[in-house]
Amino acid sequence: MLHSILQDIRFGARMLVRKPGVTIVAVLALALGIGANTTIFSAVNAILFRPLPVRNQEGLVVIRKTEPDGTDPLPFSHPEYLDYRDGSVAFSGIAAWTGASTSLMADGEPEVVSAEITSGNYFSTLGISPAIGRFFGPTEDQVPGRDPVTVISYPLWQHRFGGDPGIVGRRIELNGAPFTVIGVAAREFTGLTVGEAPALWVPMMMYHQIAPGQNDIIGARNVSGLMLFGRLKDGISPERAIAEMNGIASGIGKKHPDNARGEGIALAPLDGLSSLSPGERENVRSFVAIMMAVAGLVLMIACINVAGMLLARSAARRHEMAIRLAIGAGRRRLVRQLLTETTLLFLLGGGVAMLMAVWSTDLLRSFHPPPEVPIAIDPAIDLRVLGFTFAISLITGLLFGLTPALRGSKTDLADALKEAPSGDSHRSRLRGIFVTAQVALSLILLIGAGLFLRTLQHAASIDPGFDPDHVELAVFDLSLHGYDEARGAALYGTLLERLRATPGVNSAALASIVPLGFSNAMMMLTVEGSTPRVGEDGFLTNFNIVTPGHFATMRMPLVKGRDFSAEDRQGHPQVAIVNETFARTYWPGGNPIGRRISMQGKEGPFMEVVGVAKDGKYKSLGEASLPYLYLPFGQNYTPSMTLQVRTSGDEAAALTAIRGQVHKLDPNIPLLNPMPLSRYIASALLPQRIAAWVAGTFGVLGLLLTAVGIYGMVSYAVIQRTREIGIRMALGAGRNAVMGMMMRQGFVPVALGVALGLIGAFASAPLLASFVFGISTFDPLTYLLVALALMLVALVACYIPARRASNVDPIAALKYE
C-alpha cells in the first residue's frame, strides 16, 4: 500500500514536470487563491486566534460587571477590585488594569505614548516573564505615589532607547514626574487588547501621576474605570467562580447601598477582544468575516479554475487511463492516482502561496496606520497560519480534484484505446458549470468591491457640515505637563490670541472633540420640558467643548442665535449651543433660543441655549442626524484639547507658526499628531477603504482567474469541436458562423453565472450593510456596471479562442482526432 502510494506520488510529480505549462498556470492560480487566504488569515489570526503570550491562557478569565438586565459591561472601581481580589478563593489571582496616555520625556524629547496602569499582580497573574529586569512586586501595590517605577515595552526599548542593555534602573519622566525603568516586557507581549500596544506599564498606585487631574480612582468607590481579569485555581469551574463573585457583589451591595445598582458578574475567557465592548467585538468579527469571505471567494474561483484545467487534462489522458484500465487497474486505483497528482499540485500551490504570504504579510507589517488610527496588528506567519495554509491546500486539492479524477477514470475502453474522438460533451458541460460558478463568485466579489468603492465615492460628496480644507489640527493635553485649570486656560487663551495674530492664519479655536475621528464624548442631559424614557435619568447626548471661533474656523454655520464669546466664562450664566436636530427633537416647532438644559439633573444648574448650529456629521459620514450639544470651554475647562487653525493655504508655514508659538509658551509641550483636518477625517472611512482595497484587489484577482477559466473553457471546446468545426466549414459555415457558435458556447455559462451571481449578491448584500452607506446595498448602478464589466471581460476571453476556431483549416479539422 505504502509502496503504491509512493509510486503514485513519484508518478504524480513526474506528470507535473512533464506538463510545465499547465503546472505553472495552475500553481500560480492556486498560489494567488491560497495566498490571498493566507494573508488575510494571518491578520485574522493576529486578531482572533493568536493566543496571548501568557502561561496557561485557558485558566484566565475576564471578569465583567453587568447591568441588572445583563447588558453592557461596566468597569470596576479600585475599592471594588480590592473587595473581589481579597474576597475570592476561587481565583489564584485577580488583577486590574486601565489604559491612559502619558507624556514620556527621555533625552530631552517629549513624546506621548499609551500606557497601561495595572495592579501589582498584573504580570504575575498573567504568568509572564520580563525580557530583562523585573515586573512589579507586592510592595509597589500598596502606597499611592510612593513607587514611581515602570516596565517598558520591547518596541519602546528598541526604538526609543536603542535596545540599551543598561535600561534597567534608568530614569525617565512621565508627565513630568521621574520614574525608574525596572524591566522590559518580553518582545511578544503587547498588552491584553489586540490592536493596541501599550508602550509602558505603571503600577496602579501611581495613577495620579499618570492621569493627573482625574477623579480619585484609587480611593473612591463611585469612580469606576478598571477592567479585571483573574486566574482560576486548578479544579475550579467558572460556574463556581461566578457564584462566588456574585456573592461578593451582593455583599458589596449591602455594605455600600449608595453605589449598588444590582449588578451581576459574568466571566469570559480572556482574549485579545475581551476589553472591547460587545458592539465593538461584533463589529470586529463582522469585518473579519467579510474579509475571510472575500478571500474565500477568490480561493473558490482559483480552485474551480484549476479543476477545469484538470478536467481538460483528464480528457487528454483518456488513452493513458484506458491502457491502465486494460491492464487491470481498478477505477478506485485510478482515482487515487489522479487525486494524488491533484493534491501534489495543490500543495505546490500552497507552498508558493506561503512564499507570497511571507512577502505580503511583510508588506502589511510595514504599513503603519496614521497616528490618528490607534491600531497595531502584527500579521506574522506562525504555525497556525502554516497549518491553515497546509489544510486549505490539502482539503481543496481533495475536494476540487475529485470530479476531474472521477471523470478521468471513467472512459470507454474500446474507443479510448483506438484513440477515437471521445465526443465527451459531459466534460464540456462540466467545464461550463465551472465557468458559471466562477463568474457567479467573481460577480459577488466585484459587486462587494463596487459597493465599497461607491460608498467611498459617495462619501466624498457627503456634506460633513463643515469645511475640512485648509484647517490644521494639533492635539494638546496640558494635564500631562502639570498644568492646573487656571494655568491651562491661560495658556490656551494666549496661544489662540497669538495664533490669530499670525500672518496666514484666518482663525483659530480649540475643541475637545474633532468630528469624524476616533473619539467621542457623551453625557446624560436633562432637557427642561422633556421627559426621559422610563428608567432613564435623562437623554444621552453627544457633546463637544469648544472655544469662541470654533464655528467660524470649521465653517460650520450658526443658523440661529450667537457663537460663544469671551463673556461665556466661569461666574457668568451658563450657556450652550445645540444643533438643528437637537432643537427639532426636543423643541419641535418652537424657538430653541433661551431654552434650558442641565448636566446635573432636573434640579439644575441649567444652561441656556444661545445658538443653533447647522447639523453635521460627528461620528461617521454614514450616520443619521444626531442631536449634538456644544459647551463653552470658558465654563467647562478640560486639559485635553485639539487646536484648529484655518489657514489661507500654506499649511507648512501654518504648522511652523503653530510650533513656534507653542514652543515660546512652553518648550516642554509637544505638538501631538499635527495634521490637516482633511487627512484626519479621511480615517473615518478606514474600514471602507480597507474593505474596498481588499475586495477590489481580490475582485480583480477573481476576475482575472475567471477570465482565464472562460478562456480555458472555450479553448478546450475549440479543441474538442475541431472536427465538428471542420464539418461545419465543409458544409458552408463561414468564419463568423463558427466564431458565433464558439462565442455562444462560451457566453451561455457566463450569462448563467451573471444571473446566479446577481442573485448571490442580492442574497449576501445585507451582510455588508454596516460598511456601506450613502447608497443601497442593492444599488442598481453598481450591480449593472459590474455585471456589464464582467461580461465585457468574458466576451474578450471568449473572443480569442473563438477567433482561433474561425481560422481552423477545414481539411486539418476533418482529419483531426
Q: Which is nearer to another protein, 747 or 783 (CB)?
A: 747
In the complex, the smallest distance separating the C-beta of residue 406 from another protein, rounded to whole angstroms, is: 22
Phi, psi of 247 (to 5 degrees): -65, -45
Q: Does 729 bind another protein (CB under 8 A)?
A: yes
Residue 98 to residue 89: CA distance in whole angstroms: 24
Q: Does 271 bind another protein (CB under 8 A)?
A: no
Strand partners, 641: 476
Among 255, 734, 744, 796, binds another protein (CB under 8 A): 734
Q: Does 730 bind another protein (CB under 8 A)?
A: yes
Q: Does 731 bind another protein (CB under 8 A)?
A: yes
Among 293, 752, 775, 814, binds another protein (CB under 8 A): 814
Q: Which stretch binds another protein (CB under 8 A): 94-102, 552-560, 662-670, 722-730?
A: 722-730
Q: Does 811 bind another protein (CB under 8 A)?
A: yes
- Measure Cα distances from 448 to 297, 311, 703, 764 in Å: 11, 30, 13, 9
H/E stretch holding 267: strand 264-269
Q: Which is nearer to another protein, 129 or 736 (CB)?
A: 736
C-alpha cell at 790: 464582467
Q: Which stretch binds another protein (CB under 8 A): 26-34, 120-128, 499-507, 728-736?
A: 728-736
Residue 252 to residue 228: CA distance in whole angstroms: 16
Q: Which is nearer to another protein, 29 or 733 (CB)?
A: 733
In the complex, the smallest distance separating the C-beta of residue 420 from another protein, rounded to whole angstroms, is: 10
Among 51, 70, 247, 423, binds another protein (CB under 8 A): 423
In the complex, the smallest distance separating the C-beta of residue 724 from another protein, rounded to whole angstroms, is: 5
- 103, 176 Cβ separation under 8 angstroms: yes
- Cβ-count burial of 668 within 10 angstroms (0-12 exposed, 13-18 middle, 19+ buried)? middle
Q: Which is nearer to another protein, 318 or 723 (CB)?
A: 723
Q: Which stretch binds another protein (CB under 8 A): 216-224, 284-292, 665-673, 723-731?
A: 723-731
Q: Does 735 bind another protein (CB under 8 A)?
A: yes
Q: Does 723 bind another protein (CB under 8 A)?
A: yes
In the complex, the smallest distance separating the C-beta of residue 407 from another protein, rounded to whole angstroms, is: 18
CA-wise closest residue to 229 among 152, 147, 123: 123
Q: Which is nearer to another protein, 429 or 679 (CB)?
A: 429
Side-chain-side CA neighbours of residue 139 (13 Å): 4
In the complex, the smallest distance separating the C-beta of residue 313 from another protein, rounded to whole angstroms, is: 22
Computed on alpha carbons and rounded to an integer, the radius of gyration of the chain in Å comes to 33
Q: Does 318 bind another protein (CB under 8 A)?
A: no
In the complex, the smallest distance separating the C-beta of residue 731 from another protein, rounded to whole angstroms, is: 4
In the complex, the smallest distance separating the C-beta of residue 429 from another protein, rounded to whole angstroms, is: 11
**Residue position matching grid coordinates 495566498:** 35
Phi, psi of 12 (to 5 degrees): -60, -45
In the complex, the smallest distance separating the C-beta of residue 195 from another protein, rounded to whole angstroms, is: 58
Q: Which stretch binds another protein (CB under 8 A): 256-264, 316-324, 621-629, 808-816?
A: 808-816
Q: Which is nearer to another protein, 381 or 742 (CB)?
A: 742
- 512, 642 Cβ separation under 8 angstroms: yes
Classified as helix, coil or strand, 446 is helix
Q: Which is nearer to another protein, 713 or 729 (CB)?
A: 729
Among 276, 373, 737, 775, binds another protein (CB under 8 A): 737
* SS3 readout for 146-184: CCCEEEECHHHHHHHHCCCCCCCCCEEEECCEEEEEEEE
In the complex, the smallest distance separating the C-beta of residue 737 from another protein, rounded to whole angstroms, is: 6
Among 710, 728, 743, 753, binds another protein (CB under 8 A): 728
As a dihedral over the C-alpha atoms of residue 615, residue 618, residue 621, residue 627, rounded to 10 degrees, the angle is -50
Q: How many residues bind another protein (CB under 8 A)?
A: 18
Q: Does 170 bind another protein (CB under 8 A)?
A: no
DSSP string, 590-619: S--TT-EEESS-TT---EEEEEEEPP--SS
- What count of other Cβ atoms lies within 10 Å of the Cβ of residue 737? 15
- 383, 51 Cβ separation under 8 angstroms: no
Q: Which is nearer to another protein, 257 or 732 (CB)?
A: 732
- 192, 229 Cβ separation under 8 angstroms: yes
Q: Which is nearer to another protein, 481 or 721 (CB)?
A: 721
Q: Does 810 bind another protein (CB under 8 A)?
A: yes
- Cβ-count burial of 607 within 10 angstroms (0-12 exposed, 13-18 middle, 19+ buried)? buried
C-alpha cell at 359: 512577502
Residue 292 to residue 698: CA distance in whole angstroms: 11
Q: Which stretch binds another protein (CB under 8 A): 182-190, 408-416, 640-648, 725-733?
A: 725-733
Looking at residues 474 to 493 of the shown chain, list those that interact with another protein (rule: CB under 8 A): none
Q: Which is nearer to another protein, 659 or 735 (CB)?
A: 735
Q: Which is nearer to another protein, 47 or 714 (CB)?
A: 714
Q: Long-range contacts made by residues 162-170, C-beta under 8 angstroms, separation at least 24?
A: 165/132, 167/132, 167/133, 168/132, 168/133
- 118, 96 Cβ separation under 8 angstroms: yes
In the complex, the smallest distance separating the C-beta of residue 320 from another protein, rounded to whole angstroms, is: 23
Q: Which is nearer to another protein, 74 or 811 (CB)?
A: 811
Q: Which is nearer to another protein, 216 or 412 (CB)?
A: 412
Among 733, 794, 797, 808, binds another protein (CB under 8 A): 733
Among 503, 535, 732, 780, binds another protein (CB under 8 A): 732
Q: Which is nearer to another protein, 65 or 721 (CB)?
A: 721
Q: Does 425 bind another protein (CB under 8 A)?
A: yes
Residue 810 to residue 740: CA distance in whole angstroms: 17
Q: Which is nearer to another protein, 595 or 728 (CB)?
A: 728
Residue 69 contacts by C-beta under 8 Å, 6 or more apart in sequence? none
- 452, 695 Cβ separation under 8 angstroms: yes
Among 128, 293, 558, 727, binds another protein (CB under 8 A): 727
Side-chain-side CA neighbours of residue 538 (13 Å): 18
In the complex, the smallest distance separating the C-beta of residue 738 from another protein, rounded to whole angstroms, is: 9
Q: Which is nearer to another protein, 347 or 742 (CB)?
A: 742
CA-wise closest residue to 357 among 762, 40, 658, 586: 40
Among 83, 372, 477, 724, binds another protein (CB under 8 A): 724
- 281, 11 Cβ separation under 8 angstroms: no
For another protein, the binding residues (CB under 8 A) are: 423, 425, 723-724, 726-735, 737, 810-811, 814
